[in-house]
Amino acid sequence: MPALLRGRRWARGLLGLAGGIVALAGALLALDRALPPDLSRLEAVGRVVVDREGRVLSALPAPGGVWRLPVSAEEVPRALVDLLVAAEDRRFRWHPGVDPLAVARAALGGLRAGRVVSGASTISMQAARLLEPRPRTLRSKAIEAARAVQLEWRLGKAGVLRAWLTLAPMGGNLEGVRAGSLAWFGRPVERVGVAEAALLVAVPRRPEALRPDRHPAAALAARDAVLRRRGAAALPVAEREAARAEAGRAGDGAVPWARRAMPGLAPHLAREVAGGPMAGASAGVVRTSLDAGLQRGVEGVAAAVLAGLPARGSVAVVVADLRTREVRALVGGDWLAEGRAGAMDLTRAVRSPGSALKPLLYAMAFDRGLAAPGTVMEDLPRHFGDWAPENYARGFSGRVTAAEALRGSLNLPAVALMEALGPLRFASALKALGAVPRLPPGTGPALPLALGGVGITLRELVGVTAAIGDRGRAGALRVLPAGPGGEGAAPVLRAGAAEAVAGILVQGFPGGGPAGVAWKTGTSWGGRDAWAVGFDARHVAGVWVGRPDGTAIPGATGRGTALPVLARVFALLPPAPRPGEAGERAVARAGVVDGLRLLFPPAGAVIGEGAVTIRAVGGQRPLVFLVDGVPVAAGGARREAGWVPPGPGFYRVTVVDAAGAAASAPVRVGGVPGVE
């Protein structure tokens, strides 16, 4: 019986203890919920924008101008965390936020000496103080201890390390090892050496007294103390020897004597993506599709060009991968130059493209059989309703091929093609290519689209041009890396038509430059916008030069002002020349790709009453040419035949090959002359 009573008492005791533990846990949980730690400083961070390889492009400060950049223990070298733990909190891995042994040691030392001789602050307690700074009092210490346990409970060891690494003061307005590494060493924290890591651990102890730029000797001593007496003990032998060698190579040269400027490549794009979707190891790192080396080179070219521009003149540049449409370099203007509207991203400014859209117009005309590179067209004075367009040089060239008209940027043939194609169809193609047309209020698509009568941005123009260089595929430019399948895009043009136009545009740069680049220029009315776009086999690029306020730069043209810049940009890229396919070679290639087709006259053409040369491409020879079902002379092994219309009227021209394939086009003889 006594044993049974003892058992019952023991059971009741266990139940009481368990109840007490549950009650205590409940009370602590309620207290934690009632008084949660303030993590706002940890979340109020700046952004780091990196390129496609993770190289830093730009850093943007946190609100208030503080350089507080987030970082986690997984992102820094292992030696940095090892040095931190060894120097500041050797038992960090096992204590719950407060180290009882360190507290006891500090208390005994203080009693014996009558003053504080050693601290008991753990990394967790330091993180609590960094999150919620307080005066250095015993009461504050008690609160920090409670918060440290709370942080360990909520965030775990990794979260506590993240807080310390992000918030540790590095002197001045620098916080965290990422900002410290960029400012003191000019490199990402991921790439610091052991001695540099030791300095980052040492400075937060007395951030103003140990600033390397103001107190280099003190900073050097503190760093060496971390390496010799504390931190180095935590390192493997090989790393310890490497750290000593690194620290001793240049005497005190391993300690920086000046603070470096924060990286600031691609400032317009950095601010664009900083508030958008994030990609990277932490929420504060944004990975873009840019190439840091190319970006630096393009910015150098732009700076040299800006030096030679008149007041308020500016330049914008976009370079992208032709297949993926990933932007590799982007210059939005002269950053923060007030007179040049430097804060405005001019790659997104809506401007008039002049003749820079003509390649798309010709590609669509080739695609629909309205013309081909060898088609003879008339560059002569002509009215389109009440409109009588002129060429930029005011003169006329007479009869030219379509290839010559495109290379020479002649206006009359382009407007004639727009009339045959239809402005609405052209505007729809622009929209499909990601360039929604901006038209004057209350108007719809009209013939002036052929000469730049539409608003477009440089980014959109580069995207449209990329479709010509990429076998007719649509695809919007992207500044974040493409995921799997990022190259998949619907074609808006037949490959043969796009390649024919690309071949026509492959020509040497007038002032010299890389070979095998297809290019086109454009100048808006009054010289307000000078454009040049081009592509080789791997990249597409575009340049805009003008004034952000829309006023003209006297004498500025696409060919004379923007094209030399484009040549310098392509000189920065690895050579990837395209084959040139101008004139009849382009005609032949288009014929092979697209099968039997009538090149001239195109469907719906209005031609004069003189002799006409009917031309065809593709198909299996011999060819037979017919007009209204009646064979005409020549043909056979040749791909053309002469025909003299008997008089004005409507006719159907047909070609039949040896395999029985046929192509035909209705035409009109007489009336207003059109293409020929």
The residue written with tokens 């500041």 in the block is 88
pLDDT at res. 661: 77
For residue 671, the 8-state DSSP code is S
pLDDT tens-digit map of 205-216: 999 999 999 999
Mean pLDDT over each residue of the chain, to the nearest integer: 84
Confidence band of 380 (pLDDT split at 50, 70, 90): confident
Q: State whether CATH 3.40.640.10 applies to domain 327-583.
A: no
DSSP sequence for 573-612: SPP-PPPP--HHHHHHHHHHHH-SEEEESPTT-EE-SS-E
Q: Which fold has domain 598-669?
A: Immunoglobulin-like (2.60.40)
pLDDT tens-digit map of 6-48: 555 655 554 454 344 344 344 445 667 767 888 999 999 999 9
pLDDT higher than threshold 60 for residue 428: yes
Phi, psi of 238 (to 5 degrees): -60, -45
Q: Give the active site residue among 88, 196, 299, 499.
A: 88
pLDDT at res. 467: 97
Q: Is 88 a catalytic residue?
A: yes
Dist. CA 220–CA 209, nearest whole Å: 12
Question: What number of helices (H) and strands (E) belong to the chain?
Answer: 20, 20
3-state SS, residue 208? coil
Query: How many residues does this entry show for the chain?
Result: 676
pLDDT tens-digit map of 627-654: 887 888 654 567 788 888 888 888 888 8
pLDDT higher than threshold 50 for residue 252: no
Q: Is 355 a catalytic residue?
A: yes
pLDDT tens-digit map of 309-323: 999 999 999 999 999
Better pLDDT: 338 or 552: 552
Sign of the dihedral defined by the CA atoms of residues 392, 396, 397, 403, in that order: positive
Give kind and range of the element (H or E) at residue 224. Answer: helix 216-225
pLDDT at res. 346: 97
pLDDT higher than threshold 50 for residue 675: no
pLDDT at res. 221: 93
Contacts of 352 (CB under 8 A, 6+ apart): 452, 453, 454, 455, 456, 524, 525, 528, 529
Question: 116-125, 413-422, 618-627, 656-665: which range is least confident on average?
Answer: 116-125
Contacts of 382 (CB under 8 A, 6+ apart): 388, 412, 416, 672, 673
Dist. CA 584–CA 471, nearest whole Å: 19
Instruction: Walk across the sheet containing 597-600 and list its strands.
Output: 597-600, 612-617, 640-643
pLDDT higher than threshold 60 for residue 487: no
What do you get for the CA distance between the two ends of the chain, in Å? 122
Q: Beta strand pairing status for 529-535 and 539-546?
A: antiparallel
DSSP sequence for 303-332: HHHHHTS-TT-EEEEEEEETTT-BEEEEE-
Instruction: Walk across the sheet containing 285-287 and list its strands.
Output: 56-60, 47-50, 285-287
Dist. CA 642–CA 611, nearest whole Å: 7
Sign of the dihedral defined by the CA atoms of residues 212, 217, 222, 226, in that order: positive
In 3D space, the residue among 530, 495, 538 whose CA is nearest the CA of residue 514 turns out to be: 538
pLDDT tens-digit map of 565-607: 999 999 999 999 998 754 334 433 353 334 677 877 877 777 7
Mean pLDDT of 271-290: 73
pLDDT tens-digit map of 163-185: 999 999 999 999 999 999 999 99
pLDDT at res. 232: 52
Q: Which fold has domain 41-50+61-254?
A: Penicillin binding protein transpeptidase fold (1.10.3810)
Q: Give the active site residue among 58, 181, 314, 355.
A: 355
594-625 CB burial, b ≥16 within 10 A, e <16: bebbbbbbbbebbbbeeebebbbbbbeeebeb
What are the helix (H) ranges across 314-432?
358-367, 402-407, 411-421, 423-432
Domains 327-583 and 598-669 share a fold: no
In 3D space, the residue among 614, 674, 675, 616 whose CA is nearest the CA of residue 645 turns out to be: 614
pLDDT at res. 586: 41
pLDDT at res. 637: 63
Mean pLDDT of 656-669: 80
pTM tops 0.85: no
Percentage of residues of the chain with pLDDT beyond 90: 57
pLDDT higher than threshold 80 for residue 251: no
pLDDT tens-digit map of 526-551: 889 999 999 999 999 999 999 999 99
pLDDT at res. 166: 97
> Where exactly are the structural domains of the chain?
1-35, 41-50+61-254, 327-583, 598-669
pLDDT at res. 3: 60
Distance set, CA 421 to CA 336, 357, 415, 433 (Å)? 44, 14, 10, 17
